[in-house]
Amino acid sequence: MTTERHTVSLETPLADLVVAADPRRLEQILGNLIGNAIKYSPQGGPVEIPLSEESREGMARLCVHDHGIGIPKEQQPRLFGRFARADNANAYGIGGTGLGLYLCRELVERFGGRIWFASTEGQGSTFFLTLPLCKEAQQAATAEHSNQTRD
């Protein structure tokens, strides 16, 4: 995925993070969310992607934040439905089937995660995604952390 009008940045203090998810499906989810951030920001601008670990919950948390057209408040409750699209997308001539977010939600929930968003029309959207950390990686990180605190 390339764009000349947008800057896409991944922000994380983590050296690595392993989640329990199918890599191809995860790529599909991320591709859809980042693609939407670009598509629904027709004027360009930054797309920020902070990645963090919620260790108490055993989850990885990723956000995709854009400064695009946003989603009208009255249409937000149905956005993860099949064939659902916000009306303002048509006004900007932005095409799509309305299946991307529906599929993202289905996949994220099958992995044991959660997806939601916050949006203000005319100011942009932030999509939030949590996925369970891989138990083996989580146990190794916990063991390493306790070794570091003893030293």
**Token output for 28:** 């599909």
Instruction: Report whether 84 contacts 45 (CB < 8 A).
Output: no
Domains observed in the chain: 27-150 (3.30.565.10)
- 103-144 pLDDT tens trace: 999 999 999 999 999 999 999 999 999 999 997 755 665 666
The predicted pLDDT at position 148 comes to 62
CB within 8 A of 84, min separation 6: which ones? 75, 78, 98, 101, 102
- 65-82 pLDDT tens trace: 999 999 999 999 999 999
- The Cα 26–Cα 130 span in angstroms is 12
Instruction: Report whether 49 contacts 11 (CB < 8 A).
Output: yes
Q: How confident is the model at residue 24 (pLDDT cuts 50, 70, 90)?
A: very high
Q: Considering only CA atoms, which of 128, 123, 133 is closest in space to residue 58?
A: 133
* Single-letter residue type at 6: H
Average pLDDT over residues 49-60: 95
Average pLDDT over residues 10-23: 93
- The Cα 76–Cα 74 span in angstroms is 6
Strands of 124-132's sheet, edge to edge?
Answer: 6-11, 45-54, 59-65, 124-132, 114-120
Q: Which residue has the higher pLDDT, 12 or 142?
A: 12
Average pLDDT over residues 28-42: 95
Instruction: Report whether 92 contacts 42 (CB < 8 A).
Output: yes
Q: Considering only CA atoms, which of 75, 93, 91 is closest in space to residue 83?
A: 75
Whole-prediction pTM value? 0.85
Is pLDDT of 33 > 90?
yes
